[in-house]
């Protein structure tokens, strides 16, 4: 990291950190820092997008594991979780804490795993948003609530007879990214990245510094400095 100096984190609480991320960072700069640290699989697949392009989400992951079912509404199962209409989904939803993100994966992309009423409950719990390796529905309702939702897109088909939540606060994978409960998630117009909790102070400290340094490079380029010269001098492009 050519341009950086050794610096210490300057935030004391999650709320302060999340506000700084919203005001100073973007996913590209965080991803660049993680690449430089050898963390090469921290972005979710690019087809997971915000329902509206100006949506930003930042918070702690509350991981949710969904699975397909083939009973089509029947309750024939030795597993009591599968006998419930949504599995553990209601319990998981009610377990959301302030500034957490409901992040769900595990099922096929054949149905919606999030909707308007779930968004309303999440807002009541002061949750930060939802990130779904699947579809969302009730799009107009979610947009009216201004609730940050990142998904594969809009699709009305319901999960109830097709999929169930089988566990939550467990490790999940989305694409090549592994997400642990409590990891920091950050999403904007360019995608969603996973910042591992064990290394987040180092990653984000460098990201804030890199974001400031990029402004310097941008200014030099607009003043006429050549790209090669800028890169050789600042190590940023």
- Tens place of pLDDT for every residue, the chain, 237 residues? 444 444 566 899 999 999 999 999 999 999 999 999 999 999 999 999 999 999 999 999 999 999 999 766 566 667 777 777 799 999 999 999 999 999 999 999 999 999 999 999 999 999 999 999 999 999 999 999 999 999 999 999 999 889 999 999 999 999 999 999 999 999 999 999 999 999 999 999 999 999 999 999 989 999 998 999 988 888 887
For residue 165, list its beta bridge partners: 66, 87
For the whole prediction, is pTM greater than 0.85? Answer: yes
Helical spans, DSSP H, in the chain: 14-24, 27-36, 80-83, 89-94, 116-124, 139-145, 200-222, 227-234
**Backbone phi and psi for residue 215, each to the nearest 5 degrees, phi listed first:** -65, -35
pLDDT at res. 74: 61
Nearest to 142 by CA among 111, 113, 110, 120: 120
pLDDT at res. 71: 65
Q: 150 CB contacts (<8 Å, ≥6 apart)?
A: 48, 49, 50, 51, 55, 57, 129, 130, 131, 132, 187, 192
Determine the 3-state secondary structure of 42 from DSSP. coil
| Cα 43–chain centre separation | 9
Alpha-carbon gap, residue 211 to 214, rounded angstroms: 5
pLDDT at res. 209: 94
Q: Under the phi-then-psi rule, with left for phi > 0, alpha for psi from -120 to 50, and beta for the rest, what region is 137?
A: beta
DSSP conformation letters of 114-171: E-HHHHHHHHHTT--EEEESSEE--HHHHHHHT--EEES-B----STTTEEEEEESS-
């Amino acid at each position: 990291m050519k341009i950086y100096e050794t610096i210490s984190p300057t935030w004391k609480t999650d709320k302060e950190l999340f506000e700084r991320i919203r005001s100073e960072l973007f996913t590209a700069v965080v991803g660049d820092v993680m690449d430089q640290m050898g963390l090469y699989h921290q972005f979710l697949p690019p087809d997971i997008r915000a329902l509206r392009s100006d949506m930003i989400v930042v918070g702690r992951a509350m991981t949710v594991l969904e699975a397909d079912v083939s009973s089509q509404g029947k309750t024939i199962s030795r597993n009591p979780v599968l006998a419930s209409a949504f599995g553990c989904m209601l319990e998981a939803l009610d377990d959301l804490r302030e500034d957490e993100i409901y992040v769900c994966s595990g099922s096929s992309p054949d149905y919606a795993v999030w909707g308007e009423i779930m968004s309303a409950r999440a807002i009541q719990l002061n949750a930060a948003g939802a990130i779904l390796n699947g579809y969302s529905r009730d799009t107009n309702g979610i947009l009216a609530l201004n609730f940050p939702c990142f998904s594969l897109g809009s699709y009305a088909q319901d999960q109830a007879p097709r999929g169930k939540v089988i566990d939550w606060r467990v490790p999940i994978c989305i694409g090549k990214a592994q997400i642990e409960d409590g990891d920091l998630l950050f999403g904007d117009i360019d995608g969603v990245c996973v910042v591992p909790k064990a290394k987040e102070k180092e990653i984000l400290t460098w990201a804030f510094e890199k974001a400031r340094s990029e402004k310097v490079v941008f200014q030099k380029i607009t003043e006429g400095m050549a790209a090669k010269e800028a890169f050789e001098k600042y190590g940023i492009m």
